[in-house]
Chain A
């Protein structure tokens, strides 16, 4: 039995209506606050924008959970949606509900991510030892990292990564643990670690690219 059922049985109908009305009022106040923050962000107010985006993270996580996105991919949805809000902020109509606008975008991005994941899984071959045995001769990661570390670039770039991607780089690259060790240490699947490592390396390469060092916002 859900808490709503218990409350519904325990309180009279008029009181339940009052609770619903209060809930709607609170939701409406939160929405109005977000709409005002977004309007300020459209006018160039960075502080309002930071407050809004922090607030959005919770809403996006909730939508991702509702859409069945696995916990270890929720960060990807949050990152995607934050970037989408940033790119699409000129399309937000101030007369409309910001929460409704955000929810639709988060649902789309969650569905897109699930589709991409399914397509990726269909193409993937299950070979648990392949990554450990494979040597990528095209990159000299150790040398590159050593160079970058000297300037503190890696630490700064790492700090911009979502937690699970940062964790994958920390254990698999910087501490040179095996995939199996890292999986048991972090209690995450090898597949999830591989995906997060791949994304993290891609993001790090982009962010530390000397030609385009401003890639952090991508």
Chain B
């Protein structure tokens, strides 16, 4: 393995420093597999929440309002696709257009939730969340997003994203969408305008916080010594 090659004296010292006492590294598993590990952790949390939730009521509610099904599928798909995109973006040779992967499902999620708002105007007597419940939703989404984001950032840090801000923001979308999906277990309300605004605000807050903090944690990977 010592085939002679051209040498640039300007970088000789740097190259020797990098190669001295080189520790072996275990090649990372493909981004798709690492995303599945994170999604498995989310699925485990879903199983725990399901055991505390009134599932027959949830089933009746979703059955009566197809747009809620669509919103739930949209948020779950957004969590899955955003996690895949974040892990793909975490390797240095990934095209940045991977960040657009969760956008179609996010549009379905937003669209279906918006349709839910319309239904509360059209169907009299629909049960909607008041401000206190909306605040609880905010706390739930933000509170659950913190551990999910932390796990995601720790896993992403093992790779080396060249666009740390973008990667962290997509990771934030994955965590917030997963938290919003899990909220369904404890959310016996139809979407109202205030509720939807609070959900959107919580998701935006999680994405912004991830971008701000995750960017530093993921970007530091490039300047940290081994």
The answer, among A44, A79, A100, A109, for a CB contact under 8 Å with B22, is: A44
Q: A42-B26, A91-B92 are in contact. List 18 more A-B contacts (CB 8 A).
A: A42-B25, A42-B27, A47-B1, A55-B5, A58-B8, A78-B11, A82-B14, A83-B18, A84-B222, A87-B226, A91-B91, A105-B93, A108-B162, A109-B162, A160-B17, A166-B10, A216-B13, A216-B17
State A101–B8 Cα separation when bound (angstroms): 21
A40 within 8 A of B: yes
Q: Are A50 and B16 in contact (CB under 8 A)?
A: yes
Q: Does A146 contact B (CB under 8 A)?
A: no
Residue-by-residue, is A159-180 near B (CB-CB < 8 Å gives 1, otherwise 0)? Answer: 1101100100000000000000
- For B226, the chain A residues whose CB sits under 8 A away are 86-87, 217
| Interface check A118, CB cutoff 8 A | no
Determine if B222 and A54 form an interchain contact, defined as CB atoms under 8 angstroms apart.
no
Chain B residues near A (Cβ < 8 Å): 1-11, 13-28, 30, 90-93, 158-160, 162, 221-226
A89: which of B10, B21, B25, B162 is its contact (CB, 8 Å)? Answer: B25
Give the top 8 A-B pairs by smallest Cβ distance, nearest first.
A44-B24, A88-B160, A48-B1, A104-B93, A163-B10, A46-B19, A90-B25, A46-B22
Interface string of A72-85 (1 = CB under 8 A from B): 00010011001110
Chain A: residues with CB nearer than 8 A to chain B?
33, 36-37, 40-51, 53-55, 57-58, 75, 78-79, 82-84, 86-94, 100-101, 104-105, 108-109, 112, 159-160, 162-163, 166, 214-218
| B201 → A minimal CB distance (Å) | 31
Q: Chain A nearest CB: distance from B28 CB in Å?
A: 5
Residue of B6, B17, B22, B90 touching A55 (CB-CB under 8 A): B6
26 A-B residue pairs with CB within 8 Å: A46-B20, A46-B21, A46-B22, A49-B18, A50-B16, A51-B3, A53-B15, A54-B7, A54-B8, A58-B6, A83-B222, A83-B223, A86-B226, A87-B160, A87-B222, A87-B224, A90-B27, A90-B158, A91-B92, A92-B27, A93-B27, A101-B93, A104-B93, A108-B92, A166-B10, A218-B224
Smallest Cβ distance from B122 to chain A, in angstroms?
50
When distances are taken between beta carbons in the complex, the residues of chain A under 8 Å from B18 are 49, 53, 82-83, 86, 217
Q: Is the CB of B162 within 8 A of A84?
A: yes
Q: Which B residues lie within 8 Å of A58 (CB)?
A: 6, 8
CA distance A216 to B14 in the complex (A): 7
Question: Cβ of B13 and Cβ of A104 under 8 Å apart?
Answer: no
Find chain A residues with CB under 8 A from B13 CB.
159-160, 216
Residues of B within 8 A of A44 (CB): 22-25
The complex places the Cα of A168 from the Cα of B161 at a distance, in Å, of 32
Cβ-defined contact, B92 with A54, below 8 A = no
CB distance from B116 to the nearest CB of A (A): 41
B225 close to A50 (CB less than 8 A):
no
A49 near B93 with CB under 8 A, answer: no
Q: Which residue of chain B has the shortest Cβ distance to A80 in the bound complex?
A: B222
Closest to B16 in A: A50
Give Cα A91–Cα B8 distance, bound, in whole angstroms: 26
Q: Give Cα A50–Cα B221 distance, bound, in whole angstroms.
A: 22
Least Cβ–Cβ distance between A166 and chain B, in angstroms: 8
CA distance A185 to B221 in the complex (A): 39
**Are B28 and A91 in touch, CB under 8 angstroms?**
yes
B21 contacts which chain A residues (CB < 8 A)? 46
A57 to B7, CA, bound (A): 8
Neighbouring B residues of A40 by C-beta, 8 Å: 1
Q: Which residues of B contact A86 (CB under 8 A)?
A: 18, 226
Write the chain B residue with the least CB distance to A109.
Answer: B162
A88 and B223 contacting across the interface, CB-CB below 8 Å? no
